[in-house]
């Protein structure tokens, strides 16, 4: 019987538990595999901190948000306990045939490095930003869009009541997919994304145009959006666990500028971690379950150094190199086709 370790790393995301459930159920039933879960991401791997995973421990997990394994920003090479020898010791101590790492770009990068050093490892892509180029969609994205869309609907009612301009900030460091999809779904009057700088003059022109028709303007902005004169995305919160600036607050920057330039009372809302919490949508539960099931086929085939991905309606396998080749950003033509109806 083969035995594998599963970990969830990086930011939490709706659908992680569904991946774990799908992997354990199919792995046990079809391939006769056993599983353990590493607690708190890579930390559990380098410190040999595990929990058993079997049918009873994953029962009813598909609708639960978060991850029963916990997660962290700790990397497998983090000092003082990390490194390839610590990873190998845990794998040997647990008699594992390989590791399944569920995570985003940082997790895939660490997995690629470990694979290069001889570790049997595969991946499952995870990011609500939907910015991995090797897969059409990542689980968690659909849930984040639904949450952001509901926030737009709610903000529009209060904005209409007070005749205010409402600015909603959603996640999206490099890619504006959440802002674009939720903004379209919620009928936003302007959508601001990292891929497309817009001048404050243009933003205010859209806002004023909406007010002139007797409407209350609704602006959706991704956290990574920059005005043309900004050298980098707005950040005042230091660095995260991967030494990247913690983004957040661009809506608070824009709102007073819009109010000053248009004379329209303007309020900002930063949606933040609400986008990552709660139960996954049906789409994300299905996608996550399919990815979890598919990764057990991959480890059964000993097809290491790859991750599962969605292409069209098919689950395929892609190498870590391909998965990390580029961010999937919003194409210029896709943004422009929506931009024509702003204001």
Residue 171 among known ligand-binding residues = yes
Angle among Cα 35, 24, 142 to the nearest 5 degrees reads 125
Residue 129 among known ligand-binding residues = yes
Contact (CB, 8 A) for 2 and 33: yes
Residue 173 among known ligand-binding residues = yes
Residue 54 among known ligand-binding residues = no
Contact (CB, 8 A) for 283 and 310: no
Residue 238 among known ligand-binding residues = no
70 vs 107: CA distance, rounded Å? 15
Residue 128 among known ligand-binding residues = yes
Residue 104 among known ligand-binding residues = yes
Residue 105 among known ligand-binding residues = yes
Q: What is the 3-state secondary structure (H, E, C) of 281-338?
A: CHHHHHHHHHHHHHHHHHHHCCCCCEEEEEECCEEEEEEHHHHCCCECCCCHHHHHHH
Query: Whose CA is closest to 308, among 328, 327, 287?
Result: 287
40 vs 8: CA distance, rounded Å? 7
132 vs 24: CA distance, rounded Å? 25
Residue 166 among known ligand-binding residues = no
Residue 336 among known ligand-binding residues = no
Catalytic site positions: 129
Residue 127 among known ligand-binding residues = yes
288 vs 62: CA distance, rounded Å? 9
Residue 317 among known ligand-binding residues = no
From the CA atom positions of the chain, what is the Rg in Å? 22
Contact (CB, 8 A) for 299 and 100: yes
Query: Whose CA is closest to 94, among 178, 16, 36?
Result: 36
Element (H, E) at 125: strand 121-125
Element (H, E) at 319: strand 314-319
278 vs 66: CA distance, rounded Å? 7
Residue 162 among known ligand-binding residues = no
Residue 11 among known ligand-binding residues = yes
Residue 223 among known ligand-binding residues = yes
> Binding-site residues for Mg(2+), please?
105
- Residues belonging to the binding site for ATP are 11, 73-74, 104-107
Annotated binding residues: 11, 73-74, 104-107, 127-129, 164, 171-173, 223, 267, 273-276
- Residues making up the annotated binding site for substrate are 127-129, 164, 171-173, 223, 267, 273-276
């Amino acid at each position: 019987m083969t035995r594998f370790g599963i970990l969830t790393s990086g930011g939490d995301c709706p659908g992680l538990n569904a991946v774990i459930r799908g992997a354990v159920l199919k792995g046990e039933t079809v391939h006769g595999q056993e599983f353990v879960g590493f607690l708190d991401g890579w930390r559990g791997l380098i410190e040999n901190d595990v929990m058993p995973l079997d049918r009873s421990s994953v029962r009813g997990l598909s609708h639960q948000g978060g991850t029963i394994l916990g997660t962290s920003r700790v990397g497998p090479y983090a000092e003082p306990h990390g490194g390839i020898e610590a990873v190998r010791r845990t794998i040997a101590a647990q008699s594992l045939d390989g590791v399944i790492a569920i995570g985003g770009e940082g997790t895939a990068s660490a997995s690629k490095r470990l694979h290069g050093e001889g570790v049997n490892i595969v991946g499952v892509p995870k990011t609500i930003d939907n910015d991995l180029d090797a897969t059409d969609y990542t689980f968690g994205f659909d849930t984040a869009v639904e949450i952001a869309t509901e926030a737009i609907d709610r903000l529009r009612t209060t904005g209409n009541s007070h005749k205010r301009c409402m600015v909603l900030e959603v996640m999206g460091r490099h890619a504006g997919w959440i802002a674009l999809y939720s903004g379209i779904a919620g009928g936003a009057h302007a959508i601001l994304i990292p891929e497309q700088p817009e001048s404050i003059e243009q933003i205010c022109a859209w806002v004023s145009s909406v007010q002139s028709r007797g409407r209350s303007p609704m602006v959706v902005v991704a956290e990574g959006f920059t005005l043309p004169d900004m050298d980098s995305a707005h950040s005042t919160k230091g660095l995260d666990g991967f030494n990247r600036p913690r983004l957040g607050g661009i809506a608070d920057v824009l709102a007073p500028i819009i109010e000053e330039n248009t004379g329209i009372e303007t309020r900002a809302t930063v949606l933040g971690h609400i986008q990552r919490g709660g139960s996954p949508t049906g789409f994300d539960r299905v996608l996550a379950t399919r990815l979890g099931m598919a990764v057990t086929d991959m480890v059964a085939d000993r097809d290491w150094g790859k991750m599962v991905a969605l292409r069209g309606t098919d689950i395929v396998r892609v190498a870590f190199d391909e998965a990390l080749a580029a961010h999937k950003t919003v194409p210029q033509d896709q943004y422009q086709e929506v931009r024509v109806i702003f204001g």
